[in-house]
A and B are shown apart, each in its own frame.
Chain A
Amino acid sequence: MNLCEAEKTFILHGVEENFRVDGRERSQYRPMELETNVVAHAFGSSRLRLANTDVLVAVKIETDVPSVDQPDEGKIEFFVDCSANATPDFEGRGGEELATEIANSLTSAYRSTKAFNLSKLCILKGRKCWKLYVDILLLECGGNLYDAVSLAVKAALWNTDIPRVLAVNLDGNNVEMEVSDNIHECVKLDIVPAPVMVTISKIGEQCVVDPSAAEEQCATASMVVAVSQDRFTTVLQSGSGSLHPSTLRESLKLGLEIGSKLDQALIEVLKQKPAKKQIGFLM
Chain B
Amino acid sequence: MPTDNKRIAGPEDSISYRLFKETSNESVLSKINNLKNNIRSDGRKTNEQRKIFLKCGVVSQAKGSAYFEVDNTKLIVSVYDPREIPKKTDYSLKGELFCIFKYAPFSCPNRRGHQQDAEEKQHSAIMKRALESAVCRHEFPNFQVDVYVLVLENDGSALSGAITAAGIALAQAGIPMYDTITSATLAIQGSTKLLDPTLEEEALCTIATHKSDTETGYDSHGIIVLAILSTHEQISEFYQLGNLNLDTLNESISILMNATKEIVPLVEKCLVDYVNKTFKANGQS
Residues on A lying within 8 angstroms of B by beta carbon are 68-69, 97, 100-101, 104, 107-108, 111-115, 223, 228, 230-245, 248-249, 252-253, 256
A236 vs B225: C-alpha distance when bound (angstroms)? 10
16 of the cross-chain contacts (CB-CB < 8 Å) are A97-B125, A100-B122, A107-B118, A107-B122, A115-B243, A232-B243, A232-B249, A236-B237, A237-B237, A237-B238, A240-B128, A240-B129, A243-B234, A249-B253, A252-B246, A252-B250
A231 vs B221: C-alpha distance when bound (angstroms)? 11
B229 with A235: CB separation less than 8 A: no
A244 with B233: CB separation less than 8 A: yes
A23 vs B143: C-alpha distance when bound (angstroms)? 40
- CB-nearest residue of chain A relative to B207? A113
Task: Among A68, A230, A237, A243, point to the contact of B245 (Cβ < 8 A).
Answer: A230
B121 with A104: CB separation less than 8 A: yes
- CB-nearest residue of chain B relative to A103? B118
B240 with A232: CB separation less than 8 A: yes
Task: Among B121, B129, B208, point to the contact of A100 (Cβ < 8 A).
Answer: B121
Tally inter-chain residue pairs, CB-CB below 8 A: 100
Cβ distance A225 to chain B, nearest Cβ, rounded Å: 9
B242: Cβ under 8 A from any A Cβ? yes
B62: Cβ under 8 A from any A Cβ? no
In the A-B complex, the 8 residue pairs with the closest CB atoms: A240-B132, A242-B234, A235-B240, A242-B133, A242-B236, A113-B208, A112-B243, A114-B243
A245 with B235: CB separation less than 8 A: yes
- CB-nearest residue of chain A relative to B209? A113
Please encode chain B, from 197 to 240, with 1 for each CB lying within 8 Å of some chain A CB and 0 for all others: 00000000011100000000010111010000100111111111
Cβ distance B199 to chain A, nearest Cβ, rounded Å: 14
B15 with A68: CB separation less than 8 A: yes
With A104-B125, A107-B118 known as contacts, the answer to whether A232 contacts B244 (CB < 8 A) is: yes
A234 vs B239: C-alpha distance when bound (angstroms)? 7
A68 vs B18: C-alpha distance when bound (angstroms)? 11
Since A111-B241, A112-B208, A234-B241 are in contact, a sample of 18 more A-B pairs with Cβ atoms closer than 8 Å, ordered by chain A residue number, is: A100-B121, A107-B118, A108-B241, A111-B242, A112-B221, A115-B243, A235-B239, A240-B129, A241-B133, A242-B232, A242-B234, A242-B236, A243-B235, A244-B234, A245-B233, A248-B253, A252-B246, A252-B250
With A100-B125, A240-B132 known as contacts, the answer to whether A248 contacts B243 (CB < 8 A) is: no
* B243 contacts across to A, CB distance below 8 A: 112, 114-115, 228, 231-233
- CB-nearest residue of chain B relative to A243? B235
* B220 contacts across to A, CB distance below 8 A: 231
* A107 contacts across to B, CB distance below 8 A: 118, 122
B264: Cβ under 8 A from any A Cβ? no
Please encode chain B, from 104 to 147, with 1 for each CB lying within 8 Å of some chain A CB and 0 for all others: 00000000000000100110011011001100000000000000
A237 with B257: CB separation less than 8 A: no
B118 with A235: CB separation less than 8 A: no
B239 with A242: CB separation less than 8 A: no
Task: Among A104, A108, A245, point to the contact of B253 (Cβ < 8 A).
Answer: A245
- CB-nearest residue of chain A relative to B208? A113
* A68 contacts across to B, CB distance below 8 A: 15, 19
* B242 contacts across to A, CB distance below 8 A: 111-112, 233
B249 with A101: CB separation less than 8 A: no
A148 vs B229: C-alpha distance when bound (angstroms)? 31
With A69-B19, A232-B244 known as contacts, the answer to whether A252 contacts B249 (CB < 8 A) is: yes
Cβ distance B94 to chain A, nearest Cβ, rounded Å: 9
* B222 contacts across to A, CB distance below 8 A: 112, 232
- CB-nearest residue of chain B relative to A253? B246
A114 with B237: CB separation less than 8 A: no
Q: Which of A111, A237, A243 has the most CB of B within 10 A?
A: A237
* B237 contacts across to A, CB distance below 8 A: 236-237
* A237 contacts across to B, CB distance below 8 A: 129, 236-239
Cβ distance A248 to chain B, nearest Cβ, rounded Å: 5
* A252 contacts across to B, CB distance below 8 A: 246, 249-250
* B132 contacts across to A, CB distance below 8 A: 240
- CB-nearest residue of chain A relative to B220? A231
Q: Which of B129, B236, B238 has the most CB of A within 10 A?
A: B238
* B244 contacts across to A, CB distance below 8 A: 231-232
